[in-house]
């Protein structure tokens, strides 16, 4: 459904692609140079060669920005050009247009699997108390779903499948999710949600805050505990793994970036990576320092592998080889020494006063089992 001008462009592009080197236009092309460089004048040449099948008009329009739009730097134009080339060469014309115009995946298969597994189960029907963060892209604010909230607010008692689809809707990978619920008066409440990682890439503090809120509200499950008595909290924080720090960029380089440079540079997205890594690491630092200050460091256990490389560091490579590789990484992680945050440097270091992750998990399980038995005895005496 291309416009009239674009249809002409495609026809000319096909003629250019099949034109013989010795044709009647050969001398003109040699005299004028490649289309992508004609309007550059004395500007710096593009750092990469152009594939022959990339539409000439597209290249010329991007290059033309360098000589006409004073507000756009050459660095931004070259970043855009390299981004276009990467997409075009790796995915072809249709794949390139799709990645520019919509999410990488439709999400249809994921949605069908989630709905099949969860059926009509709602949030308040979960066997254990849960808390799931999402972000409402329409209201630009976090929307948190939890078992406790669902029992008090009917509009938050959504289908668990809708909540799971929403919290996994990572921008650029999966589409946002819309659904509606009814409040106690029958009024409709609409949700327009995306990935919960936008709110809390590490939800540890979110969970702690939620428990404190329930204590303040007099929830009987937490009656013996005070709202700020974090020494009685037990936190098990399981990371999903992060890429090994490659130190790709520095201040000198990023100081020259514009919008496009921050969005795409050498195969990564610096602005998104910075936000997500900073969010997760800051929560780990805050939680670790809090428990160390309360002298109850043994009540906080963070297990995370931060040296993933290659496909294992990606978020969407689900081949059997990659998944089995991640399983091996997880098994090896159990044998590693427990780490804690150095309050001065903010880096994770081995905690020599504790055992391996496997040993600490066993200790946590024993403590929880002991606590459960004590609660059962107290309940029977009522």
Residue 329 pLDDT grade (very low, low, confident, very high; cuts 50, 70, 90): very high
User: Could you tell me how many residues make up the chain?
Assistant: 382
pLDDT for 31 beyond 60 = no
**Which structure tokens are listed for 132?**
């799931």
Which residue from 111, 132, 112 is spatially nearest to 123, judged by alpha carbons? 132
Residue 345 has pLDDT above 90, yes or no: no
- What is the Cα–Cα distance from 19 to 30, expressed in whole angstroms? 14
Asked whether 134 and 203 are in contact (CB, 8 A), the reply is no
The strand pair at 300-303 and 235-238 is best described as: parallel
Name the burial class of residue 356, with classes exposed (0-12), middle (13-18) and buried (19+) by CB atoms within 10 angstroms of its CB.
middle
Average pLDDT of the chain is: 78
CATH 3.40.1090.10 residue window(s) in the chain? 232-381
CA-closest candidate to residue 97, choices 55, 62, 64: 55
More confident residue, 24 or 141: 141
SS3 content of the chain, % helix, strand, coil (to 5): 55, 10, 35
- 312: CB partners within 8 A, 6+ apart: 241, 322, 325, 326, 329
Distances (CA, A) of 195 to 134, 185, 191: 6, 29, 13
Kindly report, residue by residue over 48-78, the tens digit of the pLDDT.
Answer: 444 444 444 444 444 444 444 444 455 554 5
Four-residue CA torsion sign, 359, 322, 160, 189: positive
- Please report, for the chain, how many H helices and E strands are present, in that order: 13, 8
Q: For position 316, what pLDDT does the model report?
A: 84
Phi, psi of 366 (to 5 degrees): -65, -40
Distance from C-alpha of 137 to C-alpha of 140, rounded to nearest angstrom: 5
235-238 vs 188-194, strand pairing mode = unpaired
CATH homologous superfamily, domain 232-381: Cytosolic phospholipase A2 catalytic domain (3.40.1090.10)
Of 264, 271, 272, nearest to 78 (Cα)?
264
CA atoms of 174 and 127, how far apart (whole Å): 28
- Residue 73 DSSP code: -
Burial of 263 (0-12, 13-18, 19+ CB in 10 A): middle
pLDDT, tens digit (0-9, with 9 covering 90-100), for 79-92: 555 655 555 455 55
Q: pLDDT tens digit string along 143-153?
A: 999 999 999 99
């Amino acid at each position: 459904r291309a416009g009239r001008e674009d249809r002409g462009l495609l026809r000319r592009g096909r003629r250019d692609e099949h034109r013989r080197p010795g044709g009647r236009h050969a001398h003109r092309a040699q005299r004028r140079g490649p289309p992508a460089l004609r309007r550059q004048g004395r500007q710096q040449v593009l750092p990469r060669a152009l594939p022959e099948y990339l539409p000439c008009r597209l290249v010329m329009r991007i290059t033309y920005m360098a000589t006409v739009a004073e507000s756009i730097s050459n660095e931004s134009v070259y970043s855009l050009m390299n981004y276009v080339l990467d997409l075009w060469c790796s995915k072809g014309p249709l794949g390139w247009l799709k990645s520019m115009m919509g999410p990488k995946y439709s999400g249809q298969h994921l949605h069908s699997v989630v709905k099949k597994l969860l059926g009509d189960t709602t949030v308040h029907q979960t066997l254990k108390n849960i808390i799931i963060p999402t972000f409402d892209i329409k209201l630009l604010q976090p929307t948190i779903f939890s078992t406790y909230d669902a029992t008090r607010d009917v509009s938050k008692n959504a289908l668990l499948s809708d909540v799971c689809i929403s919290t996994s809707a990572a921008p650029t990978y999966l589409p946002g999710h819309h659904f509606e619920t009814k409040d106690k008066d029958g009024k409709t409440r609409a949700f327009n949600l995306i990935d919960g990682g936008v709110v809390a890439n590490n939800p540890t503090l979110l969970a702690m805050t939620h428990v404190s809120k329930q204590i303040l509200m007099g929830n009987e499950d937490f009656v013996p505990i005070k709202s700020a008595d974090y020494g009685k909290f037990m936190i098990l924080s399981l990371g999903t793994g992060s890429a090994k720090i490659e130190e790709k960029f520095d201040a000198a380089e990023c100081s020259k970036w514009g919008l496009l440079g921050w969005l795409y540079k050498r195969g990564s997205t610096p602005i998104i990576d910075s936000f997500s890594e900073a969010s997760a690491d800051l929560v780990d630092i805050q939680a670790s320092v809090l428990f160390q200050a309360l002298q109850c460091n043994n009540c906080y256990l963070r297990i995370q592998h931060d040296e993933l490389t290659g496909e294992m560091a990606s978020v969407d490579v689900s081949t059997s080889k990659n998944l089995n590789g991640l399983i091996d990484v997880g098994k090896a992680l159990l044998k590693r020494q427990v780490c804690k945050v150095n309050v001065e440097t903010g880096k994770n270091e081995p905690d020599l006063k504790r055992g391996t992750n496997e040993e600490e998990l066993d200790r946590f399980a024993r403590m929880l089992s002991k606590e459960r038995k004590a609660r059962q005895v107290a309940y029977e005496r009522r």
